[in-house]
Structure 1
Amino acid sequence: MASIRLTATAVEKLTPPATGRKDVYDAEVPGLVLRMSSSGVKSWSFTYRVEGKPRRLTLGAFPGVSLKLARDRAREARAAVQRGEDPVEDKKTEEREKQLNGFAACARDYVEKYAKRRQRTWAETERVMEKLAIPAWGDKPVKEIRRRDVVELLDKVAVKTPHQANRLRAYLSRMFKWLIEREVLEVSPVMGVAPRIKPYARSRILSDAELVALWKATERLGGTFGACVRYLITTGVRRDEASCLRWDELDGPWAAMPASRMKGGRDFRAPLSSTAVSIVEGMPRFEKCPYVFTTNGRSPISGWSKTKEKLDKYMSEELGEPVADWRLHDLRRTLASGLAGLGVRSEIIKRVLGHAANSNDVTAVHYNWHSYDAEAMAAVQAWADHLARLIEPEAVDTRELSMAV
């Protein structure tokens, strides 16, 4: 097939065919072809043979790929062929690897194969990855992600939500370690990257007046969300543990929750006071719905942000002033502090909260196998009685007086 010595000017002026396409071969680099179509598109390719079979390697479109760059790429491909390699197959392999080891694919693989199986909060990991990390890095190969890339992403997120940046850093760190175990990576790009802000331990507990205001706010809120918050106040379980409570987990005054839903990854039997049992028994049952707290009869309740806004509003109106910053998780701390104030021992408070014994406490870890079930039940009942005295002191005093008579 005839070829000509192409020049940059010639490539620019070559006229596309009226119909179909036309190939112009370069005389300087054997195998380099400029293909022109009737639509006016010009593109470069390199043709060669492997075991007698013709192959064509795409090098890019003109003018994005100049004549000089096309020749350089063609020479590299020609050298590879002379070494016994197949540039087309190599490119396909590279693209497959890129697709499999691109960040988006790896992140979704991590969520599906690891987070969903081992993390109670896998949905939050998935949400953060999809919202923040995948849009930033897309299909970029994980091997090409550098520490600088991580820092730039975290700094960008931290401008608006520094705590979210810290969570993203933690999720990325776990994901990259998972990839190292699978020999996709050698080193994690998160290594050496500090949190965007220093984490701090919250110490917020609700005062007696705030507890009363919250209880009254839940009654005003009503419905499933109101009942679920009262359940949180009386039991001290975590929000998601309560939200996903199932009817088949209830056994009288106990709620047996599986390890998959517990932060510590252990099965846990939460003791329920008479107040908590009444809350649960007051919930309607939906046919074929396993969840105690549901608004649609199909899935557990969700969308807590609007509920929290209403509670803050109702509490502030009850208190006569804006309620100070608090979170639903603070109710666990409030219950624990309240139990301590009622004289409950620390090991029983840990049992109520579902906390594991301190690993440094050899006696607690290896020798003390007492369940503290009876003590925990007595503790939550004492807390329920304390709440009742706070919420309706006159009713409690009248009842105690009638019992004495």
Structure 2
Amino acid sequence: MLTDTKLQSLKPPATGQQEHPDTKIKGLRLRIGAGGTKAWILRRRVGDKVINRKLGVYPAMKLAAARNAAESMIEALERDGSTEGLDRTFEAAAEAWIKAKKRPALIQRQLELHVYPDWRDRKLGEIKRAEVRDLIQGLEGEVLPNRVLATIKTVFGYAISQDWIETSPADRIEKPNAEAARDRFLTMDEVARVWNAAGLLGYPDGPWTRLLLLTAQRRSEVAGIRWVDLDLDNATWTLSAGDTKAKRAHLVPLAPMAVEIIKAMPEIGDYVFSTSANSPIRGFARSKRQLDEWLESKGLGLSEPWRFHDLRRTAATHMVRLGTPELVVSRVLNHRVQGVTGQVYALHSYAPEKRHALEAWAAEVDRAVNGERGGNVVRMERE
């Protein structure tokens, strides 16, 4: 039987692949390639067919999680003769619900703007309650969070009615209290605290948090950075229209501090920040919780509650304070261009101005972290 100790001791073969069966869950195996890749697979006979399905990658997926995933898949195979329900993505389920219930185009747009960027390719059964809560908490406004939560709950409810999943991760998630648009931004002292705490998270969450702060882009966009989108020689990151929440192509100049962070990342797949080699990081709520717990344990907790999205507002606020025109800050944030004049001038990418703004902001972060802002910031120990 496989154990955590045994898994840690397994070595890759000189050539080809080796499989190590788990006697506790029949059909569950750990496949190890000559290159060192370790993947969980389930091999089961269904009728006249033998099905091999990949469950995840070790060590990102631990033994207990692999067994749970295998049991869920076995149950689906025995019940339905296939794993179609388990394989269905959130987007596929939502689109099926929209078509079946003839939902208005407004619902489709709501999902495209606020849900699909994070969950488009997520399997229904993999989405956790904490991720639902984190997504809703990241939305601003008095009405929007409640409406998006209602839509998410309805999609999961439809999936249950179709026997695609057994339970909904959105159950018992309460509607957020009505609130005005958030205006929370971090002081430079708080920026230094979060920066140093992020250094203790390690790869990928720590570097991701720091790049979130330096680039002022949305969390799902930073999490989804692909190596192919980067030109580190010219210090740029290019997002296609399909990669942005705003559905507009966007060029992000990278400050030297940002380039340094990216160059230090391991290339284990398509994404700069990944734990599975084939998908971007998720679980933002867990990372946020770890940051807050460390800050509180050191007596460095922030004076007011904060969210990852507040880092974007923080960067924008301080760029204006540093003298960057609001129009340029708007271009950095990839906000919609208003009016005919603005649409004409949108032909100008503002790349030099955006670079100057982001480099000035990175320098300000560096001064805060290294205690070089006179007596306004307490010097903090770097990781």
Q: TM-score, normalised by structure 1?
A: 0.52
Alignment CA distance shift 1:111-1:257 (3 Å): farther
Whether the aligned pair in 2 keeps the contact of 1:233 and 1:335 (CA below 8 Å) is yes
Q: Distance in 2 between matches of 1:328 and 1:224?
A: 15
Query: Cα–Cα, structure 1 residues 303 and 367, in superposed 2: closer, same or farther, change >3 Å?
Result: closer
Aligned ranges 1:3-402 → 2 under 5 Å: 107-110=94-97, 119=113, 121-122=115-116, 124=119, 165-169=146-150, 198=178, 200-252=180-232, 253-286=235-268, 289-321=269-301, 323-358=303-338, 361-367=339-345, 369-393=347-371
CA RMSD of aligned residues (A): 3.8
Structure 2 residue runs of 5 or longer lacking an equivalent are: 1-91, 101-107, 127-142, 156-174, 375-383
- Unpaired segments ≥5 residues, structure 1: 1-104, 132-161, 175-194, 397-405
Distance 1:116 1:332, change over 3 A: closer
User: Once the two structures are aligned, what percentage of the paired residues are identical?
Assistant: 31
Partners of 2:113 and 2:246 within 8 A in 1: no
**1:169-189 per-position Cα deviation (integer Å, ceiling 9, x unaligned):** 466999xxxxxxxxxxxxxxx
Q: Quick check: which has more Rg, 1 or 2?
A: 1
After superposition, the C-alpha distances for 1:345-396 in whole angstroms (9 at most, x for unaligned) are: 01110111111212xx331123553221001001100001111111113599
Secondary structure (helix, strand or coil) at the match of 2:337 reads coil
Structure 2 distance, partners of 1:332, 1:126, is 25
Alpha carbons 1:244, 1:300 under 8 Å: kept: yes
* Match in the other structure for 2:64: none
- Matched residue of 1:221: which SS? coil
**TM-score, normalised via structure 2 length:** 0.55
Using the TM superposition, give the Cα deviation of residue 268 of structure 1 relative to its aligned residue in structure 2, in angstroms.
1.0
Query: In 1, distance between residues paired with 2:206 and 2:365?
Result: 16
Query: Deviation per CA, 1:78-116, whole angstroms, max 9, x where unpaired?
Result: xxxxxxxxxxxxxxxxxxxxxxxxxxx985515699679
| Partners of 2:227 and 2:345 in 1: CA distance | 34
Rounded Cα–Cα distance in structure 2 between residues aligned with 1:108 and 1:319: 47
**Matched residue count:** 240
Q: Following TM superposition, by how much is the alpha carbon of 1:215 offset from its aligned partner in structure 2, in angstroms?
A: 0.6
Q: Counterpart of 1:255 in 2: which secondary structure?
A: strand
Evaluate the alpha carbon distance shift between residue 229 and residue 395 of structure 1 in structure 2; reply closer, same or farther with a 3 A threshold: same
Greater RCO (CA < 8 Å, at least 6 residues apart): 2
